[in-house]
Chains A and B, each alone.
Chain A
Amino acid sequence: MSLFVLSIGFGLITASILAIASVGFTLQFGVTNILNLAYGDVMTGAAFIAYLVTRAGGSLWAALLAGAITGSLASYVLNRFLYTPFVRHGTRLFGMIIVTISVSLVLQNGLQAIFGASFFSLVLPRTASYGFAGMIFTGQQLLIMGIAVVAMAVVHSLLSYTRLGRAMRATAADPELARGCGVATDRVVGVAWLMSGALCGIAGVTLVMNVTSFSSTTGGSFLIPVVAAAVLGGVGHPYGAMIGALVIGLASEVSAAFVNPAYKEVVAFGVLVVVLLVRPQGIFAEIATQKEVVA
């Protein structure tokens, strides 16, 4: 029983990181319809920048900020100068998979070439542990959950209550019609990538805050649970992604406690495959995504 409660605690932390990451991922997909398979590697890039900041004596907050900026700019540049030109050039779904995977390969191995094939850890102060209803969290883990809650609240208010958020949802639903309403869709797409990139960067930093060490492949291997959470919630639906993250996070950590921990990703993978096959539009989405990529 205590093992179960303990694993729920781990699950909540994983779910927090997953939620930040998959909401960012799903926003990119929602607005541009591109499954950005290089997302995990942008996370790794942000983690490395955060690592450099902490090694230079920067605080954790500085590291998070630097990670967010890195993710934001990198995602914006990727979309603006690579993905969008490819889409305008006539590359479709099929080809865009190859394009984003190529980018993933270049980023991951580029990072490895720069930093080396070894393991790194953020230089963080040791914090006390807090017990809560049978679960144990370090101060940093509590911080991760706090960041996730704040990030979700910000995304929610922005999408629901602001003009920009409405324009973003409208662009995701029908870019041509949105243009007809006077929305500068290029600019909205740009802002969406900046925003989702910031989430991506924060997710990268929180991911490596929660592990003892990371390498150039850390973000890439985290991509599958991220995609699983996003798909579970219906790709393009931020609220679905939040719930998907909770489900995947809890399922993988609880199963890790009782089965071989090496298989905890298999659980996430399994959920993803089953959802894709049974209900490809995701559990929480009202309409199936049959759209093409948009420029």
Chain B
Amino acid sequence: MSTAMQFYVSNLLVYLGVDVMACLGLNLQFGVAGIVNFAFIIFQAAGAYTAAVLTLGSSSAGGGFQSYIGGARLPFPVPFLAAAVVGGLLSLLVGLVALRKLRTDYQAMVMLVISLIATTVATNATGLVNGSNGLATIPKPLQSVLGLSLVGYQWVYVAITFAFCALVWVGVHRITSSPLGRTLRAVRDNEAAAGALGKNVTVLRLVAFVTGGAIAGLSGAILVQFISAWSPGSWLFPESFVYFAALIVGGSGNNVGAAVGALLVPVAFLESTRYIPQFGYPGLVDALQWVVVGLLTLTVMWFRPKGVFPERPGRFARRAQVP
């Protein structure tokens, strides 16, 4: 493989790992627990930001050209774990407020609004996250220690990504196949039953929400350490929608479906087409890509509403099919 080709493939593989992780996290929230978290990308962004500032060193270092809070220079893998913790804590905070008894679409609206508020604040509060410029020159973990060639390091990073991805897979799988996972599905399928089960349900959904948020944070950290830059503009609401589209195409509620969705929508559809030649005015290809993502989602919603890999019916009675 030529060096250019190696870069291309390893890039795609890292993106794939990140997107699979994110889809597994969102699947826990949306597919299993039925929470329409349109703010998913914010938790990923928070994790990414955490990892960034924990490796950049203090704000005044590097000539102080970018301002941020909580700068430190912590060794691998502490920033990754901290990112997961921050993603989880932020989810706990949001979940405590938003996971009350609300109609599904109202809950989705709250999440959407939280996403937009977060973007507005991050863009305008310069002292917080350096405003719309974001952060740059984020160091890559172990790069100086390993002393590898650039392309060699790419493959090391692929390995790191896949290792975390495997960990997340095992963790999520254990949750979804546990009694907790079955209860969450039951609650998702029958909100009336959820009411009958009482207060406990909110706690269970919160567990799913926080775990999903921690996974989002971790995936953000892995991404940001790879691309070395962070800015509010790259974590906008439509990016959340991409993950939703992935789950819907792959098959929400099913981890294999989530992984396949990650491969199909964000990676095959958006990442790989970034390398096709641009035509028309700048931005035309991007716009058309989003049009296609929307149309693809609509098509799948119509023809295969349960996705390519539908959720397997559990041992408990599924939702009655009688209208």
Residues of A within 8 A of B (CB): 35, 82, 86, 89-91, 93-99, 101-106, 108-110, 112-113, 116-117, 224, 227, 231, 260, 262-263, 265-266, 269-270, 272-273, 276-277, 280, 289-290
Q: Taking each of B123, B289, B293, B301, which has the highest tally of chain A beta carbons within 10 Å of its own beta carbon?
A: B301
Contacts A109-B288, A277-B100 given; indicate if A98 touches B301 (C-beta within 8 A). yes
> Would you give the shortest CB distance from A102 to chain B, in whole angstroms?
4
Task: Pull 25 A–B residue pairs with CB atoms less than 8 Å apart, ordered by A.
Answer: A86-B302, A89-B305, A93-B105, A97-B105, A98-B301, A99-B298, A101-B241, A102-B297, A102-B301, A103-B294, A108-B290, A110-B291, A113-B284, A117-B282, A117-B287, A266-B120, A266-B121, A269-B117, A272-B109, A272-B110, A272-B113, A273-B110, A273-B113, A273-B114, A289-B103
> Would you give the shortest CB distance from B303 to chain A, in whole angstroms?
10
Asked whether B110 lies within 8 Å of A266 as measured between CB atoms, the reply is: no
Residues of A within 8 A of B238 (CB): 105
Inter-chain CA distance A91–B287, complex, in Å, is: 27
Contacts A94-B36, A98-B248, A277-B98 given; indicate if A109 touches B105 (C-beta within 8 A). no
Residues of B within 8 A of A280 (CB): 102-103, 106
Inter-chain CA distance A207–B84, complex, in Å, is: 42
Interface status of B34 (Cβ within 8 A of chain A)? yes
Asked whether B297 lies within 8 Å of A98 as measured between CB atoms, the reply is: yes
Asked whether A109 lies within 8 Å of B113 as measured between CB atoms, the reply is: no
Chain B interface bracket (under 10, 10 to 19, 20 to 34, 35 or more): 35 or more
> Would you give the shortest CB distance from B242 to chain A, in whole angstroms?
10
Asked whether A113 lies within 8 Å of B103 as measured between CB atoms, the reply is: no
Asked whether B116 lies within 8 Å of A35 as measured between CB atoms, the reply is: no
The 9 A-B pairs of least Cβ separation, nearest first, read A105-B294, A106-B294, A109-B290, A117-B283, A109-B287, A112-B287, A113-B287, A102-B294, A262-B124
14 other A-B residue contacts (CB within 8 Å) besides A97-B105, A266-B120:
A95-B301, A98-B244, A99-B298, A102-B298, A102-B301, A105-B238, A109-B286, A117-B282, A117-B283, A265-B116, A270-B117, A273-B114, A289-B103, A290-B103
Inter-chain CA distance A40–B290, complex, in Å, is: 17
Residues of A within 8 A of B295 (CB): 102, 106
What is the interface of chain B mostly: helix, strand, loop, or mixed? helix
Residues of A within 8 A of B102 (CB): 276-277, 280
Interface residues of B in 125-171 (CB under 8 A from A): none
**Which residue of B has the minimal Cβ distance to A116?**
B281
Asked whether A113 lies within 8 Å of B288 as measured between CB atoms, the reply is: yes
Interface status of B198 (Cβ within 8 A of chain A)? no
Asked whether A262 lies within 8 Å of B297 as measured between CB atoms, the reply is: no
Contacts A269-B113, A290-B103 given; indicate if A262 touches B298 (C-beta within 8 A). no
Interface status of B323 (Cβ within 8 A of chain A)? yes
Asked whether B97 lies within 8 Å of A277 as measured between CB atoms, the reply is: yes
Interface status of B104 (Cβ within 8 A of chain A)? yes
Asked whether A109 lies within 8 Å of B294 as measured between CB atoms, the reply is: yes
**Which residue of B has the minimal Cβ distance to A264?**
B120
Residues of B within 8 A of A90 (CB): 305, 323
Interface status of B9 (Cβ within 8 A of chain A)? no
Inter-chain CA distance A165–B297, complex, in Å, is: 36
Asked whether A86 lies within 8 Å of B293 as measured between CB atoms, the reply is: no
> Would you give the shortest CB distance from A240 to chain B, in whole angstroms?
15
**Which residue of B has the minimal Cβ distance to A265?**
B120
Inter-chain CA distance A96–B106, complex, in Å, is: 12
Residues of A within 8 A of B270 (CB): none
Inter-chain CA distance A271–B170, complex, in Å, is: 41
Inter-chain CA distance A265–B245, complex, in Å, is: 27
> Would you give the shortest CB distance from B286 to chain A, in whole angstroms?
8
> Would you give the shortest CB distance from A83 to chain B, in whole angstroms?
11
Residues of B within 8 A of A112 (CB): 283, 287
Residues of B within 8 A of A94 (CB): 34, 36, 104-105
Inter-chain CA distance A265–B291, complex, in Å, is: 26
Residues of A within 8 A of B308 (CB): none
